[in-house]
A and B are shown apart, each in its own frame.
Chain A
């Protein structure tokens, strides 16, 4: 008898769960986020009004609801790398932009991130990059995190590369990186070590200046 009642109650629970899901979906599609005023954003970031306008137009075009969730983000980023699989790197990138860790990027987050990347000081950029690599946000980059990132970057290349990807190329890359960055050889890279090592590398500094005129 108990079993019978049990199965009935399970059944009803199932039904209500399903309706809840439908409601949730409705809610999500109806939520539309509007960013703060243009002046406020202009004050908070290093962009001019025109640049913000252009950015917002592109943003709104791709995400009419005003927020980007991870799936859309991955899809957009994958369009630029048709050869390989950009989803892992896009995931890390998404987490780097999603400063409030709520699974979606609003226009303000997007613009703040871009402001750091394009108009920030060298220190800001390096800090941003450090936070990108530091997947678990503990203030240290260890080998595993770095390997993850490097692997994600190599995934974007896809299968057809020259020379062919043989052996554990990402691992070698990570070893080189740690050689350069880890000054006290304790197996992790802190923010200071990272900043100092990057500032010593002229090539890197020059490369970072490369993207100044992107907007």
Chain B
């Protein structure tokens, strides 16, 4: 429950009077404030600076240090104040959190100091409000990066017991880990360079033949170049195969960019080997040789900067896309205009709109080759407009890309982004859990049977008989829930009684829904067949037999026309329901404890052996109130089943 609205709880409870005439069932007894004291000011002395606040303010968040009884450890008897030996500046924002419900992160504060303070006072950083959360996360990330950089030097201790395969993979990925890896790294680098240079030199004209025509070196020294090529490709093939063998996930490796580059680099050679010297395919074969230039991309394994550049381009895809799109638009517009402007002039190079594209591109990028120039006056005017706008259109998205690149380069963000996504998901998950805590808290406490049986229709003598019992219960109540929570749960309980339905967890709602759909058992007592939702998971037949008996235990002298649909849930699982001080319930819970519900949903006949009193028994334990309403456990327990026994 949020901080501020805790103050409105009395109002909400008072407004519940509006439900009373509508309700058919009696309401549960309200939790009383046993140690009712007037709201008092408490003094928090943090390293000499005194803060004062109401006790209620701190009680709003009972799962923090200041809100729980943990602060009693810091109580100073002589000065009657709570003394904390912590930083008073950070404490300011922590106390404001109690007051306003929002936790702010002060910018001047060091991030790790602040984290420590939060941890000390039991506050999770995820609830920092949105206005300060970005800043907090950024600072935290910077901090962890800095720490990581320091740590990385120590990372090269080889963990023991690595398989040969893992060793190889590690050697490939981090060349400086072993000498062999380093050697391999340099050798492959050398051969990449050789291969690229060979490809380049192959086309240089060297030497002249007697027939006065320069032939490229490749054709002159065919065998030499072929040998070089073969050697390089062999090295590359061996390297690729070794990487493939060592990769932890071969499928993923084969899909990665670097391995695709490797394959593309060596394929032309093999294809060339296979193909014959056929005239038709030799043209295609020549084209294939172009792909050999991709070997230069293999250098990106050796260069971190190249990888970052590639990553930048990938991450700036939207800006690049925008640049391309706006350029295309402008080109088409200007090409059309130029074409129609130059249509009139004779011997114009602007023969069609696509032909004008070339002029437009050259003009907009301020290249200005001069192979196509407008001759008409209109053409010249539009041509100048074109070149001016070209400057503008290109100048706008480029700085965005540049700044992106510099940001990425400096932060080297690739690994961080992956980590950040996980953290974001974790943060949202944690916030969801803490927000859902308020709604599941009620279901939780129902499961623990804490809301149970504080019925108004309790026979008089029960109240008289066991004041001690109830006091004990109340103490146990207080142990696990604060007064505020118990009052809130009482309110929700009243709503349940008003509408004669109960809150359940989503999972159990679906379970119950399915079960009522299958409710087709021939019931032994006709009166039971009209019940809703009365199906045990698999033993409904047996439990229905029992219902008549239970029914008897629930009638009280005071309940004259009551349609009390109270459900008795027995949780088949490890946990026994807590706080079951009613003897019959204890009996049942013991027996349920002995059930082995994990294996299957079968509930043995142990339940049925519960003493079946005659229908008008008063042996029904006098201090057994109507069965409690513990709800089915909200915690998903896959092995357990819930047996629902309903009484009319």
Residue numbers of A with Cβ under 8 A of B are: 50, 54-55, 57-59, 61-62, 76-77, 79-83, 93, 96, 110, 114, 117-118, 125-126, 128-129, 132-133, 149-150, 153-154, 156-166, 169, 173, 176-177, 181, 194, 198, 203-204, 206-208, 210-211, 213-215
Contact = CB atoms under 8 A, between A and B. Distances in A.
Nearest to B497: A207
A210 B29 contact: yes
Which 7 pairs show the lowest CB-CB distances between chains A and B? A58-B7, A163-B533, A160-B509, A82-B439, A161-B501, A117-B14, A163-B532
Contact of B509 (A82, A93, A118, A164): A164
B18 A132 contact: yes
Interface stretch (B360-368, B487-495, B589-597): B487-495
B648 to A, nearest CB: 12
A62 B29 contact: no
B13 interface: yes
Interface in B1-42: 1-2, 4-27, 29-30, 32-33, 38-39
Contact of A153 (B19, B30, B456, B532): B19
B501 A110 contact: no
B311 to A, nearest CB: 43
A162 B14 contact: no
Contacts of B632: 162
A177 B456 CA distance: 21
A194 B1 contact: no
B10 A76 contact: no
A59 B5 CA distance: 9
B508 interface: yes
B567 interface: yes
Contact of B456 (A59, A128, A173, A207): A207
A214 B23 CA distance: 20
Contacts of B282: none
Nearest to B501: A161
B498 interface: yes
A208 B54 CA distance: 31
B616 interface: no
B154 to A, nearest CB: 48
Contact of B7 (A61, A150, A160, A177): A61
A196 to B, nearest CB: 12
A69 B438 CA distance: 25
B12 A203 contact: no
Nearest to B26: A203
A207 B533 contact: no
B513 interface: yes
Contacts of B59: none
B14 A211 contact: yes
B267 interface: no
Given A83-B503, A163-B516, A194-B21, A156 B11 contact: no
Nearest to B99: A61
B512 interface: yes
B309 interface: no
A198 B21 contact: yes
B152 interface: no
A164 B516 contact: yes
Interface string B489-522: 0011001101111111110110011001000000
B631 interface: yes
Given A163-B565, A164-B513, 14 more contacts: A50-B38, A57-B7, A61-B7, A114-B14, A150-B22, A162-B501, A163-B501, A164-B532, A207-B456, A208-B20, A211-B30, A213-B33, A214-B13, A215-B10
B5 A62 contact: yes
Contacts of A208: 17, 20
A65 B14 CA distance: 23
Contact of A165 (B1, B24, B26, B501): B501
A203 B632 CA distance: 28
B2 A79 contact: yes
Contact of A211 (B16, B438, B508): B16
B7 A62 contact: yes
Contacts of B567: 162
Contacts of A181: 21
Interface string B269-287: 0000000000000000000
Interface string B624-641: 000000011000000000
Contacts of A126: 21
Contact of A79 (B5, B25, B513): B5
A128 B503 CA distance: 28
Contacts of B516: 163-164
Nearest to A119: B14
A128 B38 CA distance: 29
Contact of A129 (B17, B33, B513): B17
A133 B18 CA distance: 8
A161 B506 CA distance: 9
Contact of A162 (B1, B29, B631): B631
Contact of A161 (B18, B25, B488, B502): B502
Contact of B24 (A76, A129, A176): A176
Given A93-B18, A157-B495, A213-B30, A79 B502 contact: no
21 contacts: A55-B10, A58-B4, A77-B12, A77-B15, A80-B488, A80-B491, A110-B11, A114-B14, A157-B495, A160-B505, A162-B508, A163-B516, A163-B532, A164-B516, A173-B499, A207-B456, A210-B27, A211-B17, A213-B30, A213-B32, A214-B10
Contacts of A57: 7, 54
B499 A206 contact: no
A68 to B, nearest CB: 10
A207 B457 CA distance: 10
A213 B31 CA distance: 10
| B15, B488, B506, B508, most chain A CB atoms within 10 A | B15
Given A110-B11, A214-B13, A203 B439 contact: no
A79 B30 CA distance: 20
A207 B38 CA distance: 26
A159 B507 CA distance: 12
B11 A163 contact: no
B84 to A, nearest CB: 25
A76 B438 contact: no
| A58, A126, A177, most chain B CB atoms within 10 A | A58
Contacts of B22: 149-150, 153, 173, 177
B21 A156 contact: no
A74 to B, nearest CB: 12
B379 to A, nearest CB: 38
Nearest to B100: A61
Nearest to A170: B499
B439 A207 contact: no
A164 B457 CA distance: 26
A84 B126 CA distance: 26
| A55, A126, A157, most chain B CB atoms within 10 A | A157
B635 to A, nearest CB: 15
Interface in B443-502: 456-457, 488, 491-492, 495-496, 498-502
A157 B499 contact: yes
Nearest to B563: A176
A203 B19 CA distance: 13
A157 to B, nearest CB: 6
A115 to B, nearest CB: 10
A153 B495 contact: yes
Given A156-B495, A157-B499, A163-B501, A207 B20 contact: yes
A132 B14 CA distance: 13
